[in-house]
């Protein structure tokens, strides 16, 4: 698609949201505590903030402000407010007035451990939302996010809303091509998953759901624990139920 010549600020809102689900099996309280400690270290707020800052660099955005929070007993959040890094903007003073657009340009991440499964299937969910305006393309961040999080089930939604105007005054409702969300993900990553894609291009709406199929059963149990077939079956049921119902 050729580059559109726009009139003034490009205020198309591009929203990319992820839900990642990771699972392990706890055969007792010691396993549960060990996994909780792992999550608190591996996905602490400071580390998640670091990921969000790398995403900002990948999509050519400037970080204007940041915040982070760890929770007791587990869980974390991080938030970055962004502006478009490309160019100085269409009008004098644009850089100083960019805070007017902060409600549309941000990255937020929240983690949600779930330890209530009756058969000891421990779940960990991460929600990430990238909401941008201007020329920022959040789809370029997908591979970086997959490399950071261990994940068994993934749901990704991409929406483009609002409109801007071309120089002649015509409405512009879409300024980039989206063959599919999967188009922006490394094929080596996709090969590890079963997938379902939904697309409504006329409504500027896409969804991709993934279920891990390349698994090593031993990786879902604590080191030194034997694989329990009954619990492994419960784990795969949990994964597929979530995959089918989200």
Catalytic choice (110, 131, 137, 141)? 110
Catalytic choice (19, 105, 131, 141)? 105
Q: How much is the pLDDT for 12?
A: 82
Query: What string of pLDDT tens digits covers the 246 residues of the chain?
Result: 455 454 455 678 899 999 999 999 999 999 999 999 999 999 999 999 999 999 988 888 889 899 999 998 889 999 999 876 544 333 333 344 444 444 458 999 999 999 999 999 999 999 999 988 766 778 988 999 999 988 999 999 999 998 888 878 888 898 889 999 999 999 999 999 999 999 999 999 999 999 999 889 999 999 889 999 999 999 999 999 999 998
In terms of Cα–Cα distance, which of 214, 21, 194 is closest to 121?
Answer: 21
Q: Is 105 a catalytic residue?
A: yes
Catalytic choice (83, 131, 133, 141)? 133
Q: How much is the pLDDT for 5?
A: 53
- Domains annotated on the chain, with CATH: 13-245 (3.60.90.10)
CB atoms within 10 A of CB 91: 9
| HSE toward the beta carbon, residue 108, CA cutoff 13 A | 10
Q: How much is the pLDDT for 10?
A: 65
Q: 153, 212 in Cβ contact below 8 A?
A: yes
Q: How much is the pLDDT for 67?
A: 95
Q: Is 110 a catalytic residue?
A: yes
Q: How much is the pLDDT for 104?
A: 55
121-132 and 13-25 strand pairing: antiparallel
Q: Which of left, alpha, beta for 202 (phi over 0: left; psi -120 to 50: alpha)?
A: alpha
Q: How much is the pLDDT for 146?
A: 92
Q: How much is the pLDDT for 24?
A: 96
Radius of gyration (C-alpha) of the chain in whole angstroms: 20
């Amino acid at each position: 698609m050729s580059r559109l010549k726009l009139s003034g600020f490009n205020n198309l809102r591009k929203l990319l949201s992820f839900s990642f689900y990771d699972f392990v099996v706890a055969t007792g309280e010691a396993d549960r505590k060990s996994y909780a400690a792992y999550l608190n270290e591996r996905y602490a707020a400071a580390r998640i903030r670091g990921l969000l800052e790398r995403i900002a660099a990948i999509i050519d955005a400037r970080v204007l402000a940041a915040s982070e929070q760890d929770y007791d007993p587990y869980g974390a959040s991080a938030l970055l407010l962004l502006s478009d890094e490309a160019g100085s903007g269409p009008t004098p003073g644009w850089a100083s007035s960019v805070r007017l657009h902060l409600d549309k340009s941000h990255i937020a991440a929240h983690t949600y451990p779930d330890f209530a499964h009756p058969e000891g299937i421990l779940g960990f969910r991460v929600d990430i939302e990238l909401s941008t305006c201007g020329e920022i393309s959040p789809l370029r961040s997908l591979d970086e996010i997959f490399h950071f999080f261990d994940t068994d089930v993934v749901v990704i939604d991409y929406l483009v809303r609002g409109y801007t105007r071309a120089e002649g005054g015509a409405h512009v409702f879409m300024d980039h091509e989206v063959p599919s969300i999967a188009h922006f993900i490394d094929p080596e990553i996709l090969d590890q998953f079963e997938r379902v894609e939904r697309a409504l291009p006329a409504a500027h709406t896409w969804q991709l759901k993934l279920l891990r199929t390349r698994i090593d059963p031993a990786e879902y149990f604590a080191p030194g624990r034997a694989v329990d077939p009954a619990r492994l079956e419960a784990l795969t049921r949990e994964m597929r139920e979530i995959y089918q119902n989200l």
